């Protein structure tokens, strides 16, 4: 049997040998030996088993170490002299040079998902941008970019806003994601009761005696309710251990993180999104708010707005193979013997107990219900286009 997987679900994005250890490396190694390089970090891939961890997260709560990602603070320089909305609008207008979301329109404590774009409207990375809730932080943004592109992203942001704002990396801290229906209960018990009052896609700074100052967003990438907690490295071990001591919380590896986000129909940068892909092709038009569409003032606006009005030539879709063979990244999608697209993520869904894939197909074949062929190891296998997500999201939208 070949040791090297033929179609890895998770690819290292950095060269071998250059990998960094997580701050909590020892904590995870005490619980698993299964590590793999991902985006330049040695990451725990699996603890008790990918499917068991996946189901635990959907039924209880999982703790993920996502400290490889790129949290940062982007702020107007000291002495900017602006307050409240004026300070926010100023800093937001700077980052809006690179992203198509309405960042100026964020309310205090609101988070938005958006993407960095190139001049052709292609996606350089997807990211979260938050406006702090605290009045004292007016003129700051809290931004989290992907691990694999963080250095390039930060360089791009700095180059586009030089002298007008400062970017401070926060990836020396730890970022822990707590995800699942029991996340709210566990976070309220372990961190602070007020966390259960937050709604999905909001941010709050929380001062705690035990874990210091935390920057917490109610967000995640599993389709479940949950939080992403930025904690200083010196308090990270205490926080992780306290969360793991909660009976509903177990550690979850990067393997289950991938299957959870795939079931939730969420894109993995470098796989489902890349610099050739536009937000419209990726079915992310909802991330471009009206003010930005009308202003048409973001990179690649011409292409993106044309596709918004007329439709893109290809579209990201969900795909259910009609048998049990997983169709993974790189599998060609055919119709009547002609290639119409490609799978960009694929694997096994523990909730549906069968294979699921995501990919891009020509627009004419993108409607749910269309039957296509997936070329798995040279053999066409029937599959059906389905709506995304595969498993409904369970975000907490209202208090």
Partner 1 sequence: MTKRYTKDHEWVELNGDVATIGISSYATEQLGEVVYVELPAKDKDFAAHADMAVVESAKAASDVYAPIAGKIVDANAALADNPGLVNEAPEGAGWFVKIKVANKAEVDALMDEAAYADYVKGL
List residues binding partner 1 (CB under 8 A).
1-3, 5-10, 45-46, 49-51, 54, 255, 259, 324-326, 328, 347-348, 350, 355, 377
Pairing assessment for the beta strands 249-251 and 61-65 based on DSSP bridges? parallel
Q: How far is the CB of 102 from partner 1 (least distance, A)?
A: 39
Cβ 74 vs Cβ 162: under 8 Å? no
Residue whose pair of structure tokens reads 């040791």 in the numeric block? 3
**Closer Cβ to partner 1, 46 or 222, answer by number:** 46
Residue 397 CA to residue 201 CA, distance in Å, equals: 8
**Closer Cβ to partner 1, 23 or 259, answer by number:** 259
Based on DSSP, count helices (H) and strands (E) in the chain, helices before strands.
9, 20
Q: How far is the CB of 316 from partner 1 (least distance, A)?
A: 22
**Closer Cβ to partner 1, 88 or 328, answer by number:** 328
Across the strands, what pairs with 110? 202
**Closer Cβ to partner 1, 39 or 356, answer by number:** 356
Q: How far is the CB of 327 from partner 1 (least distance, A)?
A: 10
Q: How far is the CB of 324 from partner 1 (least distance, A)?
A: 5
Q: How far is the CB of 183 from partner 1 (least distance, A)?
A: 23
Sheet holding 166-169, edge to edge: 111-117, 123-130, 140-145, 70-75, 166-169
Question: What is the helix (H) or strand (E) element at residue 56, kind and residue range?
Answer: helix 50-59
**Closer Cβ to partner 1, 188 or 342, answer by number:** 342
Q: What is the largest CA-CA distance in the chain?
A: 65
Spell 179-195 as b/e; 16+ CB within 10 A means b: bbbbbbbbbebbbbeeb
| Phi/psi at 50 (5° precision) | -55, -45
Neighbour tally for 41: CB within 10 Å: 23
**Closer Cβ to partner 1, 333 or 366, answer by number:** 333
Residue (of 33, 275, 262, 279) closest to 148 by Cα position? 275
Q: How far is the CB of 340 from partner 1 (least distance, A)?
A: 23
Can you state the angle between helices 183-190 and 233-244, rounded to 10 degrees? 120
**Closer Cβ to partner 1, 48 or 152, answer by number:** 48
Q: How far is the CB of 175 from partner 1 (least distance, A)?
A: 23
**Closer Cβ to partner 1, 174 or 262, answer by number:** 262
Q: How far is the CB of 259 from partner 1 (least distance, A)?
A: 7
Cα distance from N-terminal residue to C-terminal residue, the chain = 52
């Amino acid at each position: 049997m070949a040791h090297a997987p033929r179609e890895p679900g998770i690819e290292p994005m950095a060269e071998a040998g250059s990998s960094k250890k997580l701050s909590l490396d020892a904590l995870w190694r005490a619980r698993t030996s299964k590590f793999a390089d991902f985006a330049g970090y040695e990451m725990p891939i699996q603890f008790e088993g990918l499917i068991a961890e996946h189901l635990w997260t959907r039924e209880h709560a999982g703790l993920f170490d996502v400290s490889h990602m790129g949290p940062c603070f982007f702020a107007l320089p000291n002495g900017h002299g602006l307050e409240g909305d004026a300070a926010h609008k100023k800093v937001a207008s700077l980052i809006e040079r690179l992203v198509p979301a309405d960042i100026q329109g964020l309310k205090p404590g609101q988070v938005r998902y958006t993407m960095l774009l190139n001049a052709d409207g292609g996606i350089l990375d997807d990211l979260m941008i938050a406006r702090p809730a605290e009045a004292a932080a007016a003129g700051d943004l809290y931004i989290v970019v992907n691990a694999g592109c963080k250095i390039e992203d930060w360089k791009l942001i700095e180059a586009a806003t030089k002298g007008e704002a400062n970017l401070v990396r926060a990836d020396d801290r730890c970022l822990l994601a707590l995800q699942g229906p029991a996340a709210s209960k566990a976070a309220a018990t372990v961190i602070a009761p007020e966390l259960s009052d937050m709604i999905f896609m909001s941010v709050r700074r929380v001062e705690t005696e035990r874990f210091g100052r935390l920057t917490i967003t109610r967000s995640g990438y599993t389709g479940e309710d949950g939080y992403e907690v930025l904690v200083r490295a010196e308090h990270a071990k205490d926080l992780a251990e306290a969360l793991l001591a909660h009976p509903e919380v177990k550690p979850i590896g990067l393997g289950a993180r991938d299957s959870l986000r795939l079931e939730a129909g969420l894109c993995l940068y470098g796989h489902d999104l890349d610099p050739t892909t536009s937000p419209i092709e990726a079915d992310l038009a909802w991330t471009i708010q009206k003010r930005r569409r009308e202003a048409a003032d973001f990179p690649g606006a011409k292409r993106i707005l044309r596709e918004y009005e007329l439709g893109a030539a290809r579209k990201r879709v969900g795909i259910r193979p009609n048998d049990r063979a997983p169709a993974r990244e790189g599998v060609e999608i055919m119709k009547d013997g002609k290639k119409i697209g490609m799978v960009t993520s694929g694997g096994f869904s523990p909730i549906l107990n069968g294979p699921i894939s995501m990919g891009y197909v020509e627009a004419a074949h993108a409607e749910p219900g269309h039957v296509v062929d997936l070329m798995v190891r040279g053999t066409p296998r029937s599959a059906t286009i389905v709506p995304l997500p595969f498993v409904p999201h369970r975000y907490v939208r209202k208090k």
